[in-house]
Amino acid sequence: MAELHDIPKPEGKPTIAGQTEAKLRHDILHGTLAPGTKLNLDKLRETMGVGLSPLREAVTRLVSDGLLEVAAQRGYSVTPVSVANLDEVGALRIELEPYALRQAIANGGLEWETAVMGALYRLNKTDRIAGNSDSLAQWEAANEAFHYTLIARCDMPLLLKMYRSLVSLSGRYRHIYLKTATVQRDVQAEHTAIAQAAVERRADEAAALLSQHIRNSTSNLRRLIVADLPAQPPHATSETAPQDDI
């Protein structure tokens, strides 16, 4: 059965469309292109120095990932952020990732166990300093690598594709709202508990811990989003005002 060498690795030199997609993806995920921003393809083409064809290919990929929206007669725009969207992304992750982890625990061998603990060690040794963009980027990369390594041996390409899309969407919220916020919970302890339960083949416990970890992250981001929303007008009712169920 396949082992971790089957995890997709970067291929050769990226195409112009691939480079353009990567740049736009970075700017969307990090808030440089703010949620709701309309994209002028002609101006983007000039600014980025690319042809219209690779640019259209790049934005089409980002639409499929949910980072851009397209509407007839209105063109492309950066997908808005919202409590409802974050809740949906979190709910889908809670459904998919614990299932993928169970499959990885069943399929993975010693190489997978070693990779999980190696990814955990790297993540726990990576500082996340509020307001420091370099440390935040390094921590995000280590965090994504850890979570992907946990479920990589599920051996389900379609599930992993959906997972990557959901991680991109949830990652955008972290990049935007955690730039200056201080995380109040012990994330390192959460990651360690998940990894140890996984490699020790305690599948039920590992899945439950991962679900709670995603729930904690979503709840914390939800509070930040609600706090950042415009104040509701005096006539707003409890049915229309944003609610925080945490």
**CB-based contact 35:80 (threshold 8 Å):** yes
Cα(114)–Cα(234) distance, rounded to whole angstroms?
A: 56
CB crowding 62-100: b at 16 or more within 10 Å, else e = beebebbeeeeeeebbbbebebebbbebbebbbebbbbb
Counting every residue written for the chain, the total comes to: 246
**CB-based contact 55:48 (threshold 8 Å):** yes
Cα(93)–Cα(167) distance, rounded to whole angstroms?
A: 8
* Residue with the two structure tokens 């397209």: 70
Q: What pTM was estimated for this model as a whole?
A: 0.80
- pLDDT value at 3 more than 70: no
232 or 86, which is more confident: 86
- pLDDT value at 45 more than 80: yes
- pLDDT value at 242 more than 50: no
| pLDDT, tens digit, 9 for 90 and up, residues 76-135 | 999 999 999 999 999 999 999 999 999 999 999 999 999 999 999 999 999 988 778 788
Domains of the chain by start residue, with CATH: 16-78 (1.10.10.10), 83-227 (1.20.120.530)
Instruction: Rank 72-76, 98-102, 230-234 by mean pLDDT and report only the highest.
Output: 98-102
Tokens encoding 33 = 């292109």
